[in-house]
Structure 1
Amino acid sequence: MLGKAVGARAACQASDPRPCAANDVRSPLAVLVGLAPGRPSEEQLAQALVTHLESWRAEPKLATAVLSALSKHQLPEISTKVLRVMSAARVELNVYHCNAVLSACERSSRWQQALVLLLGMSRQALEADIISCNVAARACSRSDAWEIAVRLLDFAQTAALGPTVVTFSSVAASPPSLSTWAPWLRATWALRGLQETMLQPDCQVLTAAVSACSSAGEWPRSLHMLSKMRRGSMAIPGPVLNCALAACATFGHWALALSMMMASEIAAVDVRTLNVFMSACEKDGQWEAALAILSLMIKSIVEPSRVTYNTVITANARASRWQAALHGLGAEMPQSGLHPDEISQNAAMSACGKCGSWFRALDLLWKMPGAGLLADAISYSTAISALGASGQQWQMALELLRLMPQARLLQDVVCQSAAATACEKARQWRVSAQLLLATSNSLEGNPTAEGLSRQAWCLSRLDGVEDESRLKATLLARSATPHLNRMRPQELAVLLRSFASMSVLDSTFVSEACRQVSVVLASWRLAAELPTRSLGDVAWALATLGAGDPQLFEAMQQELVKRCAAFRVKDDTPGTACVEFTSAALLLLWACSFAGQLMNSAAQCAQMLLHRIGRSLDQRASSAVIASCAVVLPLSGTPPDGDDGDLPSVVLELPDRLVLYKPPGWQVDDGQDDPRDKPERDRLSSFVHLLLPPQRWPIVDDVQHQRGFLHRLDVPSSGLVLVAKTHEAYYDLKLQLAMGSLVRDYVVLCHGWLSPGLSEVKARVHWWADGRQSLSSVAAAGRPARTLLKVLAHVLHDGQSLSLVAVRIDTGRRHQIRTHLAHIGHPTVCDGKYSSVATQLASEGFCGQNFLHRYHLATDVMAPAGQQRAQTGQRHHVITGIPIPLAAALRRTSPRDSASATEIERWLRTPGCFS
């Protein structure tokens, strides 16, 4: 049938109505392209080409030109059918015809079709050349059939076809696939093949190889490649070095980037190379290195670009150096003949906001139109965040949000969330809740990764005890599960943290989330995109949800060990960077300890880093010390007698820490959301100032480090409070808290007779973590809390049954003991918040204060520098007796039995340890 069609005469079907010249390539091409949408058969193509086949027999190059043009049009099916038409018409086929069709298959990712054609060449008595193998291998490599591509290249070497640089670059430069061979393995295989065939790798192969190895975290291989190029007297091309430096910038390995530059003979140092290196410095917090590179560029022939200055301004913003950021924006850039752009302005605004200079950030925003710059949503969100950081300018933040539509800008979720946070910090709860609810509603139905994580965050900031919020969050978790593999690591962390804070436990979501976290931690590139704070959030979420296997917790701790080893502590390391890193590390360690998966190696590595950071902060503070003598009050092992019992006292003083007795009514004001509307409360910080003048002990004024207070104690309660005198001691004690080795024991008198068999209460406690003065409650949306109990005695007073109980807490939730005891129906005596009015009135005449007293603290002795804590084995135990008012109330009770009487007498003399 096909032969008859070829032998028939037919009119030219070209789009050009004029007669078709036999040597006019465009005419048959136009015909074939015009027929392509209709998926023509071979018979139809034979009829269309019948007037041209004769000329192709005489001049095969004409057919090659047509087939090459079809390849550019990405028409592999038409090309293959034309090849069969040519064979049936006895047009002599050659390797050039086949290579053109192979190219069409490669361009269209038809690797199976390319292989069929390559194998069919032998049946046509045609020998494939190296170009045939190159094209087929490239088609396989680009279509996730990399193993077949390798076999083709092996065949090319076995058949002595003479592989070229293009042969190996077809594999090395292929995109990442899902095959078992990682991209960096392909790249190194290709380079090894080039070396074996004595070929010189070109820039494309080297760039692909360095990029693949660097992206996979194979830093030694990247350095080895550059070193071999240098030893071989080969100038390193700029793109190759830029590729390696860009990978370093992604991971924040500025030291590795520096070693690459120092170890390489750069062929042409241009502004792009130095910009990439500066980016690596900036992302790793090495702003001084970025500034040094800028100085070098100004002095050399390389002209700094706007990107250069933007990188420096961003570096200063990360380092909270607003003066340097503004100087670069207003002085250095104009001196170089460059005008700041929106990126420059936004970075400078961010620097001002981080330093509390909200008015400067606002001034930069207002000046943007005058400088010919268009303020975008990022500009407004940066300014709103700066206003929110002050904790006071919430009304101005709302005004900026209101002005956005007038500037033809959409109030996106970032701006709305920033405004809600500003209101929250200013304790404008109602306004904040309205904004969060509006933001959450606007995000409903948004399937993007950012939309899902933002909506979860908004729901978590609303009242978590509401069933409606948790129901929405549960449905959101189910809808987010299919999108987890497309989320960026930080978005995944936000989603996990938000759901965990609401105690949303969807098994399918949690299982898939754990799998994705494992994927992130297994990849250097993805792990580098996960900030340490987010890593801690992930660990906290999995621990509180009771999810995650031991291997996952081990992987998170191994990642923490790497980051602790890479964190450099210098005199000029920003204090905010130290606080952010240490808080994230402590959060991760607490989560692992809570899950029972804490590794000694992770704890020891974190301990050494925390001590270094603490010593560094102490040294900085001591450089500005004004010589002063502290007022030392007499030490006493028990609270003062008589009227002095209403004042704090020192129970134990060590060179780097204190243990204080806090009377009832005094507030442990650590600067974290202290109430502003109750100035009448006695503040424990004022007493600490008398003991430790801030000029000599700066930590007592350092709100970032809670003024040295390690923990709180409820205002109506009494007992021991631990205070660090130095930053090093503070971090040592914080680590003990995270690891669960710091012991806090209490003695409580509660209503009712507790069963002696009750030894613990495990119930989630919910409270507002942002300073809202409200009751804590047991709720499914709360945080895990565990209280250990030991019933000591049963007593009676005026017909009321009471229990004396020793308590130890595993977790330190707000009002945890009072909330747990009220939850099981045994509120503490004289607790106006967590007991009924009738119960409170009945106990007021009996006891004048809340009967909850912290009587025992136990801490490890800090190990000397370079020595692990486990090697010391020493602990400090501090025990104080029951205060006189509480002891008097206890003496007015009647023991239920002789065992209770014996226990009460013993505790009135000397409190016992919880066991």
Structure 2
Amino acid sequence: MQFSPVLQKLHLDVGETKSPNAVLASLARRRLWREAAWALQHLRAESGFEPTVFSHNSLISSCRDHWQKACSALKDVQRNSLEADVVSYNSAISAYEKSGRWEMGLAVLGQVRRSNLELSVISLSVTISACARAARWQPALSALGAMRQEQLKPNTISYSAALSACEKGVQWGQALRILSEMRLLKAEPNLISCNTAISACEKGEQWELSFRILCNMQASLVEADKVSFNAAISACEKGEQWQRALCTLRAARSCSLRPDVVSHSAAISACEKCREWERALVTLCEMRGKLGIEANLVSVNAALSAAEKGSAWERSLGMLAEMQKQLLESDDISFSIAISACDRSTDVGLGFDLCSSLELVGSADLSLPAWTLARTFPSNAPDDRRLRVVDEALVRLRSGDFARPRELASLAAASAKLGVEEPELFHQLAAAASAKIADFELQDLLLLAWGTAGVADETFARVIQDELAGRLEQIDAQKGLTESARKKFTKVALGVVWAYNFAGFLSENFLRTTRIFLLQAAEALDVAGGRAQAPETPLERSGKSFQARLTEAASPQVVLDLDDRLVIAKPPGWEVWDKHTELQLLTFSEAISGRRWPILRDAESGHGFLHRLDVPSSGLVLAAKTYAAYFDLQLQLCSGEIARDYVVLCHGWVAGNAVREIEAHVYWKKESSMPTVAGRQGKPSRTSLKVMAHTTILGEALSLVVIRIATGRQHQIRSHMSYIGHPTVRDGKYTAAATYDLDSAFCAQNCLHRYRLAFKDVLGTGCEAIEPLPTEFAVALKSTTAKDRGSEVGLQRWLSGAALCDWSQQ
């Protein structure tokens, strides 16, 4: 057989080549698929060579980086009246694996079974690897299970590929099961297996399990590397375990490993999440000083944020100045954190200076100028700066300047906080966001909804709701979701419901989808028995029994008690929960429930309380006994199905008898005792008011009004009443000290009382709870003199209890 001319055309050495198959095998090893295909064709045509299965297998193998060609070569085997063998199929599966075509790999496995060929460890391992590349953990585990069915013994490669699939699919439980099976079957996990399992636990926010695998590696004589420690530190960071994170960082150093900037950034971020700003700064200094590791933006910004969150705003601003002095790179995140630090400082001058410096250096982030202005001047941004920010944003949006989804969302939220009402800005925002709505992260969808709810049209509102509904429909809130992911979806879904109910554009389909998701999430929490335990309340630490406290003050009362929800009447002087006072409604709930309701231990779910009521005020508070009830009531609250009616005695004679709408935005500083400020900036709020009576006392004009709120902002009624010039009676925060002293002469409580709540029970049946005026309020009202006959009638209706009805019927 003369085939040297073919070899010469391929520029191959003929000397050592014994056969055409050897030529093809040589080409396959070098992945020269074009040359292999050409050789097979010309060897047959010019030398009379009849290809065998081996010949075709070489061609398939040479195509391992080109799955389409491998697929065609496999079909050529059958077209040439040959029977493909296991090697043929394995070579094809290998090509599919490298391109992530897991579905085709599974299809080839089916062909192997139909051909009555025996499956091999190699076939199944490569298929598992293909599934891992595509993050398809379920078919990967099915292929692993097929090995057991065929009585094949999986090897470390098979298990590692299955672990990788579970890690990418955030299936930490399955990863741990595979790790246990490996040890049971004497297929000892190697470094890659252990690192993949640690990473799976890290992604699943199971820091304890990540830490346990890391510790077990030493006992298994598997030497941990930098990747092992970095994944474990990152798991501790996600679990807000700053002490464990720092301990793991020190352990890495003691193992003669040199932790890198990734290790330190994760540890600093763990400290930042737990507000351990001093530890964060020490770790940053050690990294840059003692260890000589160059800090990056991630590590520096984490330390900046830690200082800002820990109220060490001077250190945060000092670090930014040092970054600029040492010519270290700073970005828009650095400026954002520094602006937050200025906000905490209450020094407007600092924020003004930083705002000016940002204008000088410019910003690649479309939203940062607006966001900076909103944070620097939360209640009274200068008009010239506001106009400049809007004009600059419009220029960039009109020009088609590329903006990331997060920038668009932040611009929308900041513009709304600034009270911007420029239709063109929001039209351009909506157009840009609609084009890339699928790219928005969950939190950014929420910001976009909040920012545009008051100005966007129904079409754009539907775009956001349809996108979020689609994402909710694709997940199972009971399975496959980490706790933080479930919380994030819950927060975003409820927030979008609230935003578009407020705007009047709430979609029935989105509301229904959200209800199904919340029901699944609630069932998962109720079955699990709730979240982490809360610390002791001040009453429990004080050494004084709760019963003793009840005898010293007016005690709460259960007004309505249903199977899974209840309504409690809160006296003035009691706090719902937050430990600012000793008298806690939470402690009362614990006492009456015998601590049988797990939700009472969950601060993230408000300990089951649906809303707050200011400490000096009185009235009804709605609470849930189960997560199912809590999420159901939260959805009712956000969709406007819960009615909250108040009666208020305020200063001055409020004009008019018709319903008055107060829609001033409100702003308040978190973790501050400063009053809430009502005006044109801040969060949108709506209060509806009706006048019941005009009265006088000690020469002072007073009004008795009934109120219904559409939003529940901090101190909303008190700040709104102050904003319109009619602050509530005996309100030390929103009236002058002299006014408060005069009020105290005839009234023993803040005259704001939530007298009615209306909601639905678990079956959707309407429920109502009503609470008469507390004694102190009623005494104060009796001591006033009606201005006219109509006011006299109004006063008597309230004093007799006849007016305790739906606000709309007043």
Matched, 1:409 2:297: no
How far is the alpha carbon of 1:481 from its aligned partner? 1.5
- d(CA) in 2 for partners of 1:510 and 1:620? 40
Structure 2: runs of 5 or more not aligned = 1-33, 36-58, 80-87, 113-118, 196-224
Alpha carbons of 1:560 and 1:361: their partners in 2 closer, same or farther (altered >3 Å)? same
Matched, 1:518 2:430: no
Query: Match for residue 795 of structure 2?
Result: 904
How far is the alpha carbon of 1:291 from its aligned partner? 7.0
> What is the one-letter code of the residue matched to 1:808?
R
> What is the one-letter code of the residue matched to 2:493?
A
- d(CA) in 1 for partners of 2:604 and 2:388? 35
Contact 2:751 2:777 in 1 (8 A): yes
- d(CA) in 2 for partners of 1:428 and 1:238? 59
Task: Pick the aligned partner of 1:441 from 329, 350, 356.
Answer: 356
Contact 2:269 2:302 in 1 (8 A): yes
Alpha carbons of 1:346 and 1:842: their partners in 2 closer, same or farther (altered >3 Å)? closer
Alpha carbons of 1:721 and 1:274: their partners in 2 closer, same or farther (altered >3 Å)? same
Task: Pick the aligned partner of 2:380 from 466, 485, 510.
Answer: 466
Query: Match for residue 774 of structure 2?
Result: 883
Query: Match for residue 686 of structure 2?
Result: 786
Contact 1:797 1:893 in 2 (8 A): yes
- d(CA) in 1 for partners of 2:253 and 2:145? 28
Contact 1:618 1:727 in 2 (8 A): no
**Counterparts of residues 63-462 of structure 1 (less than 5 Å):** 224-232=103-111, 248=135, 277=165, 280-281=168-169, 284=170, 286=171, 299-300=189-190, 306=226, 310-311=230-231, 313-321=233-241, 325=245, 329=249, 331=251, 339-355=258-274, 361-368=280-287, 369-371=289-291, 373-389=293-309, 391=310, 393-394=312-313, 397=316, 400-401=319-320, 404=323, 409-421=328-340, 427-430=344-347, 436-444=351-359, 449=364, 451-462=365-376
How far is the alpha carbon of 1:595 from its aligned partner? 2.8
How far is the alpha carbon of 1:855 from its aligned partner? 0.9
Query: Match for residue 478 of structure 1?
Result: 394
Classify the secondary structure of the residue corresponding to 1:772.
coil
Contact 2:693 2:786 in 1 (8 A): yes
- d(CA) in 1 for partners of 2:103 and 2:750? 69
- d(CA) in 2 for partners of 1:793 and 1:321? 57
Query: Match for residue 84 of structure 2?
Result: none
Contact 1:763 1:778 in 2 (8 A): no
How far is the alpha carbon of 1:856 from its aligned partner? 1.1
Alpha carbons of 1:715 and 1:326: their partners in 2 closer, same or farther (altered >3 Å)? closer
> What is the one-letter code of the residue matched to 2:359?
E
> What is the one-letter code of the residue matched to 1:227?
L
Q: Deviations over 1:19-64 (max 9, x none)?
A: xxxxxxxxxxxxxxxxxxxxxxxxxxxxxxxxxxxxxxxxxxxxxx
Alpha carbons of 1:851 and 1:568: their partners in 2 closer, same or farther (altered >3 Å)? same
Alpha carbons of 1:800 and 1:348: their partners in 2 closer, same or farther (altered >3 Å)? closer
- d(CA) in 2 for partners of 1:657 and 1:793? 35
How far is the alpha carbon of 1:485 from its aligned partner? 6.5
Percent identity (aligned): 32
Alpha carbons of 1:247 and 1:417: their partners in 2 closer, same or farther (altered >3 Å)? farther
- d(CA) in 1 for partners of 2:402 and 2:304? 29
Matched, 1:534 2:406: no
Structure 1: runs of 5 or more not aligned = 1-129, 132-164, 174-186, 211-221, 635-639, 675-680, 864-871
Q: Deviations over 1:779-806 (max 9, x none)?
A: 2223222222333344455666544322
Task: Pick the aligned partner of 1:857 from 750, 753, 757.
Answer: 757
Matched, 1:770 2:655: no
How far is the alpha carbon of 1:747 from its aligned partner? 0.9
Task: Pick the aligned partner of 2:423 from 489, 493, 507.
Answer: 507
Once the two structures are overlaid, the 10-residue window that deviates more, 232-241 or 806-815, is 232-241
Contact 1:719 1:854 in 2 (8 A): yes
- d(CA) in 1 for partners of 2:380 and 2:467? 32
Q: Deviations over 1:625-673 (max 9, x none)?
A: 9xx9x99979xxxxx9xx97755454445565554433334444536xx
**Counterparts of residues 502-651 of structure 1 (less than 5 Å):** 502-521=418-437, 523=438, 526-527=439-440, 530=441, 532-547=442-457, 549=459, 550-562=461-473, 565=476, 568=479, 573-574=482-483, 578-596=486-504, 597-599=506-508, 600-615=511-526, 618-619=529-530, 648-651=556-559
Q: TM-score, normalised by structure 1?
A: 0.61
How far is the alpha carbon of 1:810 from its aligned partner? 0.8
Contact 1:579 1:704 in 2 (8 A): no
How far is the alpha carbon of 1:899 from its aligned partner? 4.8
- d(CA) in 2 for partners of 1:879 and 1:454? 47
Alpha carbons of 1:729 and 1:845: their partners in 2 closer, same or farther (altered >3 Å)? same
Contact 2:105 2:130 in 1 (8 A): no
How far is the alpha carbon of 1:537 from its aligned partner? 1.9
Q: Deviations over 1:765-822 (max 9, x none)?
A: 2222423333334422232222223333444556665443221111112332233334
Contact 1:746 1:853 in 2 (8 A): yes
> What is the one-letter code of the residue matched to 2:346?
W
- d(CA) in 2 for partners of 1:485 and 1:415? 23
Classify the secondary structure of the residue corresponding to 1:555.
helix
Q: CA RMSD in A?
A: 5.1
Classify the secondary structure of the residue corresponding to 1:464.
coil
Contact 1:384 1:422 in 2 (8 A): no
Q: Deviations over 1:173-192 (max 9, x none)?
A: 9xxxxxxxxxxxxx999999
Alpha carbons of 1:606 and 1:897: their partners in 2 closer, same or farther (altered >3 Å)? farther
Alpha carbons of 1:754 and 1:373: their partners in 2 closer, same or farther (altered >3 Å)? closer
Classify the secondary structure of the residue corresponding to 2:520.
helix
- d(CA) in 2 for partners of 1:879 and 1:797? 28
> What is the one-letter code of the residue matched to 2:774?
P
How far is the alpha carbon of 1:447 from its aligned partner? 6.8
- d(CA) in 1 for partners of 2:474 and 2:406? 17
> What is the one-letter code of the residue matched to 1:914?
W
**Counterparts of residues 803-818 of structure 1 (less than 5 Å):** 803-818=703-718
How far is the alpha carbon of 1:539 from its aligned partner? 1.9
Query: Match for residue 58 of structure 1?
Result: none
Alpha carbons of 1:645 and 1:902: their partners in 2 closer, same or farther (altered >3 Å)? farther
- d(CA) in 2 for partners of 1:438 and 1:666? 42
> What is the one-letter code of the residue matched to 1:465?
S
Q: Deviations over 1:175-233 (max 9, x none)?
A: xxxxxxxxxxxx999999998999999999968986xxxxxxxxxxx654343344355
Query: Match for residue 491 of structure 1?
Result: 407
Once the two structures are overlaid, the 10-residue window that deviates more, 539-548 or 477-486, is 477-486
Q: How many residues align?
A: 676
- d(CA) in 1 for partners of 2:156 and 2:480? 34
How far is the alpha carbon of 1:514 from its aligned partner? 2.1
Q: Deviations over 1:838-875 (max 9, x none)?
A: 976775655454322111122322x3xxxxxxxx1234
Contact 1:226 1:236 in 2 (8 A): no
Alpha carbons of 1:330 and 1:844: their partners in 2 closer, same or farther (altered >3 Å)? closer
- d(CA) in 1 for partners of 2:176 and 2:795? 69
Once the two structures are overlaid, the 10-residue window that deviates more, 691-700 or 314-323, is 691-700
Alpha carbons of 1:483 and 1:697: their partners in 2 closer, same or farther (altered >3 Å)? farther
Contact 1:830 1:843 in 2 (8 A): yes
Classify the secondary structure of the residue corresponding to 2:453.
helix
Classify the secondary structure of the residue corresponding to 1:761.
strand
- d(CA) in 1 for partners of 2:466 and 2:780? 53
Alpha carbons of 1:568 and 1:538: their partners in 2 closer, same or farther (altered >3 Å)? farther
